[in-house]
Amino acid sequence: MSAGPLLQERRAALWGLALALLAATMVLLGAGVGSTGFESVFKALHDPVAWQIVWDIRLPRTLGAWLAGALLGLAGAVAQGLFRNPLADPYLLGSASGASLGVAIALALFGVSPLATHWLVRLGLTGAAFVGAVAAVLLTLVLARGVQHTLRLLLAGVIVGVVLGALSSLTMLLVPEVLQAMQAFLLGSTGYVGWSACVLMAAVWGLCMLAAWSLSRVLDGLTLGEATAASLGLSLAPLRAALIAVMALATGTAVAQTGLIAFVGLAAPHLVRSLVKTTHGRLTFLASLMGGVLLMAADLLARWLIAPAELPVGVLTAVLGGGYLLWLMHRQNQRGRML
């Protein structure tokens, strides 16, 4: 093995370790950030009420933010590799609009009355968001007539996203009582994540990570072009379908638990590629770690900036992520002028 690839492997391993340590540090910080600002976690060990708040609310919320961000980062890396487009994000195939429509219909059917059974409403909304996201991806595949043509798939995703988004808006217009409940979903929130959601997201993340790692050779081949990938003996159609299934499962699970979180899935692979050049197997794993750290950091800021009030975490990620991409575009323009 030459010195170049070996050095990149070491850098990737070091960045993976750094991101893991940063995530562990943020878990401790997240356990101490509440409505009154930052509190020491160790003080809660001597106060049963404070410990219950830490264990039942803050810890699952913090870990849930990491898991949701990790799922979005993984899905973003898969999407950008699959479509060979650095601007591709996990919502590219209409999953966001499908999830929004599913939640809007569920709220219209279940009602938003506080007398509704809590677990039924939570299970119904979570399930509706997941089913809506997956159904939107399936509809995109039907309109694109499979996964053979990348451009047709992208256009179908845009059409499905626009149409389902319009249907979601129409549902809110016809049933205005759902507007307030929909706002929390559309703006994104980790405040409702509990231990059961963490277990579910962890299981899905492990499954999707294993599948993405095993399919990383396909993404590496696609970077050389479809003709070259086919000449390497890769069966592109079924392998693309498998990658889209990974992307849909990861995105649908994250959206179902936290609502629409913008820019995490788009920015995480960008940040990793700016730090280290590596194969898609390591890139997907590092992007997943980076996505978890980004969303966890945004969740901490959302809780801390205007405590005891709280900012919607999806708005914060959109502002920070949009600012990062604008800075990136500006830097690339400056480089282009220098050349």
Mean pLDDT, the chain, whole residue set:
82
Domain positions in the chain: 3-338
Q: What pLDDT is attached to residue 119?
A: 43
Fold of 3-338: ABC transporter involved in vitamin B12 uptake, BtuC (1.10.3470)
Confidence at residue 228, expressed as pLDDT on a 0 to 100 scale? 63
| SS3 call for 40 | coil
Each residue of 77-108: pLDDT tens digit?
999 988 888 888 889 889 999 999 988 888 88
pLDDT at res. 72: 95
Lowest mean pLDDT among 228-242, 246-260, 303-317: 228-242
Instruction: Give pLDDT, residue 120.
Output: 43
- Evaluate whether 74 touches 286 at the Cβ level (below 8 Å): no
- Looking at the DSSP assignment, which residues form a beta bridge with residue 33? 38
Provide the pLDDT confidence category of residue 182 given band limits of 50, 70 and 90: confident
Instruction: Tell me what pLDDT residue 137 has.
Output: 92
CA distance to 37, 55, 293, 299, 317, per residue, from 311 (Å): 14, 22, 18, 9, 11
Q: How far apart are CA 33 and CA 24, in angstroms?
A: 15
- Counted residue by residue, the chain has a size of 339
Judged by average pLDDT, the poorest of 8-12, 181-185, 331-335 is: 331-335
Q: What percent of the chain has pLDDT over 90?
A: 31
- Give the Cα separation of 38 and 151 in Å (integer): 49
- Asked whether residue 202 carries a pLDDT value surpassing 80, the answer given is yes
